[in-house]
Structure 1
Amino acid sequence: MVGKLFCQKERKGYLDRKGVKVAKFMNNMPGADWANLFYSRHKGLLTERLCENIKRSRAAVSSEIINKYFDNLQESLENVEPGSIINYDETCFVDDPGRKKVIVKRKTRHPERIIDSTKTSTSVMFAASGDGQLLPPFIVYKSEHLYDTWLANGPKGARYGRNTSGWFD
């Protein structure tokens, strides 16, 4: 079972990146038996989880960029009323996320797999102000047209849009 979790290319790629050559592996590629035995030996440290897909552009954000943002945040918010501070977050619902099981250390909360593309998506933006007011959601469909049936029975006060990508621009 575990042999199916790691594709041969990923197993081989790990060894090649580490510069390790294992003579008993054909073309430096461990087989399914080896993967199953490895998993059995390390059951206390490893577990099977579904990974989360993220785009390469998100994976490329460094801790230095994030730290610089928070270093400047306090200065930027001086003399700003909490009701004027809006925090928003976008989430994307896809029709086929293509998630796979991966083996990771126990207690890993969000295992990720970097991918180059996603399937059809509907994006929703949620927002709240610093004084606790929740704003209506904004929903963007991936479509050429916005159909009336998509607007019926949605969240109270919700706003709707559409574009060819299904993403916020």
Structure 2
Amino acid sequence: MANCLGVMEKYGYPLTRKEVLSLISEYIRRNGIVTTLKNDIPGDDWFRGFRRRHNFSLKKPQLVEVARRKEACNPFTVYEYFDIPAKEIQDLNLTSAPDRIYNLDETSFCLDPTKSKVVE
């Protein structure tokens, strides 16, 4: 999970504290992991320990445009972006089932990311 957070931050999509806790909780539920966490939701103590163990800190994020300028203009990044979904569509046999493929837009992305801190 720590590696995943590092990769997301590197490519300009860092997660907030709340998103990290939600992701961990979902991972616990989907994998049937037995924990002592109340309702399988990590709390503040768990989060502080996780940050300490993996040398993460909470910082105000960079604006999205800065991150996009760095990576989005790289042709290898752009090609890889399209290669990954194409491979998944093939692996999941969805080429003949376009009604089972969903799109995500940027509607729920915060336009002012400096209002919350992210894990870096």
- TM-score for the superposition, normalised by structure 2: 0.36
Larger proportion of helix: 2
Greater relative contact order (CA < 8 Å, ≥ 6 in sequence): 2
- TM-score for the superposition, normalised by structure 1: 0.28
Q: Which has the larger radius of gyration?
A: 1
Larger proportion of strand: 1
